[in-house]
Amino acid sequence: MLTHFGGSMKLRLQPGSLRLRLSGDEAGKLAHECRVENTVCFGARAEDTLSFSVETYDTGNDLLLRYQGRRIRILISETDAKAMANGRALGAECDIDVVDGTMLHVVVERDLKA
């Protein structure tokens, strides 16, 4: 059973990269409500889920990555979130050292089609 909850935010995972693509409405919600979240359910048990979110923070300019349990959180600056929402920027990206020099390229972007 594969069930999708939430909006249309898309998660793309590849070796060495993680990409979250937000619709225009979701980019606006992020700028105003400071958080957009989605969950994918892979089975009947509560632990058979993966949640992912983009949240804003007010200090710094880099993307931050937090992973705990079955939850991926990407933190983006309020400035970058507002620029995405009003069309001044398509998104933000950076390389994050996740452990001992292993880099993960992280991208948060606005979907131009949605």
Chain CA centroid to CA 64, Å: 10
Q: What angle do CA 28, 68, 54 make, to 5 degrees?
A: 10
- Domains located in the chain, CATH noted: 3-110 (3.30.1360)
Main-chain dihedrals φ then ψ at residue 83, nearest 5 degrees: -65, -40
- The model's pTM is 0.87
pLDDT at residue 7, as a whole number = 61
Chain CA centroid to CA 48, Å: 20
pLDDT at residue 114, as a whole number = 56
pLDDT at residue 102, as a whole number = 94
Residue type, 79: T
Q: What is the pLDDT along the chain (114 residues), one digit of tens a residue?
A: 344 445 689 999 999 999 999 999 999 999 999 999 999 999 999 889 999 999 999 887 889 999 999 999 999 999 999 999 999 999 999 999 999 999 999 999 999 885
pLDDT at residue 59, as a whole number = 80
